[in-house]
A and B are shown apart, each in its own frame.
Chain A
Amino acid sequence: MLANNKTPDKPDTSTGALRRVSLWFAAIALLGLVIADISITTLDPWTELRLMVAGALSPSVWSWSILASSLANTFAFALQGVTLGAIAGFALALGYRFTLVRAFCSFIRSIHELFWALLFIQVAGLSSLTGLLAIAIPYAGTLAKIYGELFEEVDPLPLYNLPRRRRGLSYLFYTVVPLAWQPMATYTSYRFECAIRSSAILGFVGLPTIGFHLETALGEGHYSEAAALFYALLFLIGSLRLWLHKRLLPLYLVAVFVYLPPQAQLSWQLLVRFVTEDIVPAPLRNQSFNSETLTAFSQWLQLLWQQQLWPGLTNTLVLGQIGMVFSGLLALALLPLNSSLFTAKRSWARGLGDGFLILLRTLPEYLLAFVGLLILGPSMLPAILALGIHNGAIIGHLLGRYSDQIILRADASGGVTGYFYEVLPRVYRQFLAFLFYRWEVILRETAILGILGIGTLGFYIDSAFETFRFDRALLLILASALLNSAVDQLSHYLRRRLHLKTTPELL
């Protein structure tokens, strides 16, 4: 698209639609930048940054036992959550052709792990059950979607050729499931890496994972300790493939359930009260249903809309849009790091470049945004950077690998010219496919970044929980779920409309 922009005549290329959509997205993001607050509000960001760099260079462990136990908890929640999520997701995927099942999956995955955690904390406290469910539920929705799509893509012939009489689940287990098994396993293991990030982040709302200590250390300016915790998290994720072997998985599963059995001090009274009173909109509670309560309810809704829903929704959309376009730009800039076209003959360069991308990918947005806020102060700027770095690295990594299959003619230009003339036009369609596939995830993340104090929906949800206004919290969570589902649908529509191929990727 870049090369064609300046031709004098109206260009007539097969990528016209891609160009138009890209320009619209970029224009909306630019408009968003005008509205968005992207100022640096700290008086001296450099000092804070210097302190952080100094801390990063001198990591120190405050307590080895706490480090070990919080790492073990992080791992345990992740493994339990993904296991339960995979089982539930598999069951849901078997019925994925039913619209109702699909809608249900879309709903449960559109609510972020942190929001699920905030909800469960109200009834099950800061318990191991809360941690498990907060991961398992949204992951079940995501995995069901992936498994369901994989089931739809397998060769239909084996099933078609079998007898038609009394078709039951047996037929799926003998044909569709084995055919889809390998990609299912690959995708689930990738999701496990994501679950470790999710699990770490759950610490920020109080669960005993590594995020809990990270937040404390960062918040109090103990950057050396924070660095040690952070390196430990990277080490955990980075070393997974060395010790988390398929054959040992049952062993690890037993271990995590013995180490951290899912339990909670559930009070039925509390649960009943939560469901029948706390989450019921305040004006409707314990009221007989008449016109007065109806007026009160509509006023309540109106106020909520004006003060929280509307600003929350706009900020989420604005930040999400800027974050998405920034992620895209970064991905395009980063793709040469993992592409044999640009690192050819220098395998160390490829290794280094890809290692860098994987490192960036490993950094959870939430943590990045938290650090960014400490340096730059509360505005959308740190959130944009965090979203861009994390998602840009993920897409850049995949795109680089995708570009490997391009075979350039021997006399093709290299370097920057080669990038714009040879590579970019060839990968652009796939780039948009990845980016749109990622859109829903970016928006989900945008909403929760509000918990850090940026005015997205998460900000209002977190405040509602803090002031025990669970009715508001639930309504706001539902609004964010609705927004995510809508974006999911729109992305699906755009991908189909633009003929973007998206087999379930490691996104």
Chain B
Amino acid sequence: MSESQTAEPLFRLTNQTLHYQGHAVLSNISLSIHSGERVALIGGSGVGKSTLLAALREQLPNQVAWCPQQPGLVPMLSTFHNIYMGTLGSQTLLYNLANLIKPLPAARQAVEPIAQALGLQQQLYRSVDKLSGGQQQRTSIGRALIQQQPIFLGDEPVAHIDEYQGETLLQLICQRHPTVVLALHDIDQALATCTRIIGLKQGAIVLDAASDQLQAADLAELYKANSDTQAPQNAG
């Protein structure tokens, strides 16, 4: 970590206020993320994790593989096409159109190993509206993986996938991307996957530490306090 911090950071926010639908959700936050870091953003829902990720995406749109919480798949197209969509920019219009009508060999060679790694080979030529929520989420991860970018930004990428498989997928994501920033609600996953934890609460960064210095209990506290102040009607 010390060596990376001497280099220029990939992402840098200085006293920035971030808005979601016109409301300021994060005020005056400062943050830098360096190449090689694996960062988990944690905090209660609505605290601004997605907004922060979107702001990071805006900083380096061409180096980021984007894996949002709402996958935004095209329901009537197959899993194959939804994954392939990540690489549209690297092919000609004619190739893409032909591939839309009938999957072409080169495109299949690019997509099939990814589908294999995600356990989607059985569903590859089925339209995604016929897939389960977890399978759709894996398709969304596939669409990000195929872009082969140095940075992966994921918003709850494994929320609808069972714990064990989720763990495997997070490992896969980390293997293929030197830098990873993930919004996660599962504290154990965050500690196991990431090297750095950033905790958000009430519009501010309240925690920023290496994960090996933290206990799951510290983080649970973060959630609890958050829900107590933000939604008192839910307490008890």
Report the minimum CB–CB distance from A282 to chain B (whole Å). 49
CB of A158 within 8 A of chain B? yes
A173 pairs with B62, CB closer than 8 A: no
A163 pairs with B76, CB closer than 8 A: no
Q: Which of A122-180 contact B (CB under 8 A)?
A: 155, 157-158, 160-171, 173-175, 178-179
Report the minimum CB–CB distance from B79 to chain A (whole Å). 13
A161 contacts across to B, CB distance below 8 A: 66, 68, 71-72, 140, 143
Given A161-B72, A163-B147, A164-B62, do A178 and B77 touch, yes or no (CB 8 Å)? Answer: yes
Q: Which of B81-96 contact A (CB under 8 A)?
A: 81, 84-86, 88-91, 93, 96
CB of B100 within 8 A of chain A? yes
B14 contacts across to A, CB distance below 8 A: none
Chain B count of residues within 8 A CB distance of the other chain: 27
Report the minimum CB–CB distance from B176 to chain A (whole Å). 16
B74 pairs with A170, CB closer than 8 A: no
Q: Which single residue of chain A is at the shortest CB-CB distance from B77?
A: A178
Report the minimum CB–CB distance from B178 to chain A (whole Å). 18
Chain A interface main SS type = helix
CB of A257 within 8 A of chain B? no
Report the minimum CB–CB distance from A72 to chain B (whole Å). 32
Given A158-B73, A173-B100, A175-B74, do A163 and B86 touch, yes or no (CB 8 Å)? Answer: yes
CB of B97 within 8 A of chain A? yes
CB of A181 within 8 A of chain B? yes
Report the minimum CB–CB distance from A442 to chain B (whole Å). 36
B89 pairs with A163, CB closer than 8 A: yes
Q: Which single residue of chain B is at the shortest CB-CB distance from A179?
A: B74
Other-chain residue from A158, A164, A167, A170 in contact with B72 (beta carbon distance below 8 A): A158
B77 pairs with A162, CB closer than 8 A: no
A168 contacts across to B, CB distance below 8 A: 88-89, 93
CB of B122 within 8 A of chain A? no
Alpha-carbon separation in the docked complex, A62 to B46 (Å):
76
B86 contacts across to A, CB distance below 8 A: 162-163
Alpha-carbon separation in the docked complex, A171 to B143 (Å):
14
Report the minimum CB–CB distance from A150 to chain B (whole Å). 14
Report the minimum CB–CB distance from A470 to chain B (whole Å). 42
A178 pairs with B76, CB closer than 8 A: yes
A163 contacts across to B, CB distance below 8 A: 61-62, 66, 86, 88-89, 147
Q: Could you list 24 A-B pairs, sorted by A, with CB under 8 Å? A: A157-B72, A158-B72, A160-B72, A161-B71, A161-B143, A162-B86, A163-B61, A163-B66, A163-B88, A164-B61, A165-B61, A168-B93, A170-B88, A170-B93, A170-B96, A174-B74, A174-B77, A174-B96, A175-B85, A178-B74, A178-B76, A178-B77, A179-B76, A182-B76
